[in-house]
């Protein structure tokens, strides 16, 4: 178990328990890019670090970083321990979360008029429709990007982006469960087909 994952494991575990009660939600859209030679990936020591300008000490970032670190170790990496050697590679992580309020297209009441002609005359009908579904729910969209670089040369070896949106009141809108889902989707079939966008349920 990685040091970062060990610290945040209770939160991630709680999120996993919630998944059993969660209603199925929209899939995660994932795109990856990498060099033709992928033999350097999935081995050696690596450290997850925040992208420039990001707050690496925030609970939200640490939650996503722990989920990413857990997936990296599953792929064969060893996580650099705090205070130890930084490692030959670095995983630069950036996370954005945004709440979106969808616009309602139609009013709650609609009126329709229809007419028709048949063998026995013509007629006009008036229809009244009432939308009882209420206003559209707010959505939380999460965008995650990760770049694995060679620390010495700063060369980008692999880049991945993932995004998904769920209702604001859904369990997956919470960071622990959402982080695990996005990290698993990001590394599905690692390193992936360069330039291809996939959809992970």
Instruction: Tell me what pLDDT residue 12 has.
Output: 42
Q: Are 158 and 34 in contact (CB under 8 A)?
A: yes
Instruction: Tell me what pLDDT residue 81 has.
Output: 83
Instruction: Tell me what pLDDT residue 10 has.
Output: 44
Tell whether 95 is covered by a domain: yes
The rounded distance, in Å, linking the Cα atoms of 95 and 47 is 16
Find the mean pLDDT for residues 9-32: 56
- Of 185, 181, 179, nearest to 199 (Cα)? 185
Q: Is the pLDDT of residue 123 over 60?
A: no
188 against 140, higher pLDDT? 188
Domain count, the chain: 1
Give me 16's structure tokens.
């996993």
Rounded to two decimals, what is the model's pTM? 0.72
Find the mean pLDDT for residues 128-144: 73
pLDDT band per the 50, 70, 90 thresholds, residue 24: very low
Tell whether 43 is covered by a domain: yes
Tell whether 10 is covered by a domain: yes
Tell whether 109 is covered by a domain: no
Tell whether 53 is covered by a domain: yes
Q: Is the pLDDT of residue 183 over 90?
A: yes
Least confident of 26-40, 81-95, 119-133, 172-186: 119-133
Tell whether 115 is covered by a domain: no
Q: Is the pLDDT of residue 59 over 80?
A: yes
What is the domain range of residue 161?
3-101+137-200
The continuous run of DSSP H or E covering 160 comes out as strand 156-167
Give me 62's structure tokens.
């640490």
Instruction: Tell me what pLDDT residue 177 has.
Output: 83
CATH number of 195's domain: 3.30.160
- Of 142, 165, 159, nearest to 197 (Cα)? 159
Instruction: Tell me what pLDDT residue 104 has.
Output: 59
Tell whether 117 is covered by a domain: no
Average pLDDT, the chain: 80
Tell whether 122 is covered by a domain: no
């Amino acid at each position: 178990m990685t040091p970062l994952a060990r610290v945040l494991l209770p939160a991630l575990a709680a999120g996993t328990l919630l998944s059993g009660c969660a209603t199925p939600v929209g899939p995660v859209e994932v795109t990856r890019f990498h060099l033709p030679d992928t033999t350097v990936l999935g081995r050696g020591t690596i450290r997850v670090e925040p992208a420039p300008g990001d707050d690496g000490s925030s609970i939200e970032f640490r939650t996503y970083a722990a989920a990413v670190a857990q997936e990296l170790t599953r792929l064969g990496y060893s996580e650099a321990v705090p205070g130890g050697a930084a490692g030959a590679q670095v995983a630069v992580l950036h996370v954005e979360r945004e709440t979106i309020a969808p616009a309602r297209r139609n009013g709650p009441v609609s009126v329709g008029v229809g007419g028709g002609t048949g063998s026995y005359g013509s007629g006009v009908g008036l229809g009244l429709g009432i939308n009882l579904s209420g206003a559209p729910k707010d959505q939380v969209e999460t965008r995650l990007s990760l770049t694995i670089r060679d620390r010495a040369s700063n060369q980008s070896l692999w880049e991945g982006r993932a995004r998904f949106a769920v209702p604001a009141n859904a369990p997956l809108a919470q960071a622990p469960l959402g982080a695990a889902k996005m990290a698993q989707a990001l590394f599905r079939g690692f390193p992936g087909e360069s330039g291809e966008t996939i959809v992970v349920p």
